[in-house]
Every structure is written in C-alpha cells, then in structure tokens.
Amino acid sequence: MHAFDVLGDPVRRRLLELLNEGERASGELTEVVRAEFGISQPAVSQHLRVLRENGFATVRKDGNRRLYAVDASPLRDVDAWLRRFAVRWEPHLMALETELVRGGRERRAGDERERGRRRQ
C-alpha cells in the first residue's frame, strides 16, 4: 500500500494527528475517533493496523493496553515527493533549501560554493 493511500482516509489522518501529540493507547484513540466519526471499535483497530503495517505507527505493550506512537518515516517520503512542487507556492524555497543543506551541521562558514549542490 502506497503512503498516499494510507493518508487517503480521514480517520487515519485524524489518528496520526492525535499520535503526533504523543503516545496514546488504542482505547483512547478509539474513543476520540468513535465520537468524531461514529465508527466501531474494530473499524478503528483496522485503521491502526494499516498505520502499523505501513510504518506510520509503532506499538508497544503496556499491560493490557497497546500504546501507539507515530513513526514519521513514511511521512518524510510523502514530503519528499511533495517538495518537488513546493517551489510553486514558496518561491523563496530555493533559499530554504540552501539553508537546509548548509544548516545541518553548522560551521565552517564561508562555503558559498555550496550552491552547486543538488538535492540529496
């Protein structure tokens, strides 16, 4: 399943938003989503499975519960794809990119010749 397919579902997007605030138990997530979308517990559980199996979330046991946390790797991939278009809404993005490339590790100043660098 492609990352964009995973994000195609509003329930899963909401789950990711919730997880982005921090680790949460399946039950808590289910409660929120049930209230907002009016779907059943198994439905939520299956969405969590999709998130898990596609690397968007990790789980760990805590006694009875399953604590979910967001894993951003696939989101980064999505972002990478999107970035190709970003220059269209952020004309100054070129500068941003340069900044990113340079900014990673500070130091050694100068280095204007970095401009030749391509992405990645």
Partner DNA sequence: CCACCATATAAGATTTGATTTATATAAGCC
Partner DNA sequence: GGCTTATATAAATCAAATCTTATATGGTGG
Contact flag: residue 39 with DNA (CB under 7 A): yes
Instruction: State the CB neighbour count (10 A cutoff) for residue 71.
Output: 17
What dihedral do alpha carbons 6, 10, 15, 18 form, nearest 10°? 130
Separation CA 16–CA 18 (nearest Å): 5
Q: Give least dist CB 54 to its own copies, A.
A: 13
Residues that bind its own copies (CB under 8 A): 2, 4-5, 7-8, 10, 13, 16-17, 20, 70, 72-73, 75-76, 78-79, 81-82, 84-86, 88-90, 92, 95-96, 99-100, 103-104, 106, 111
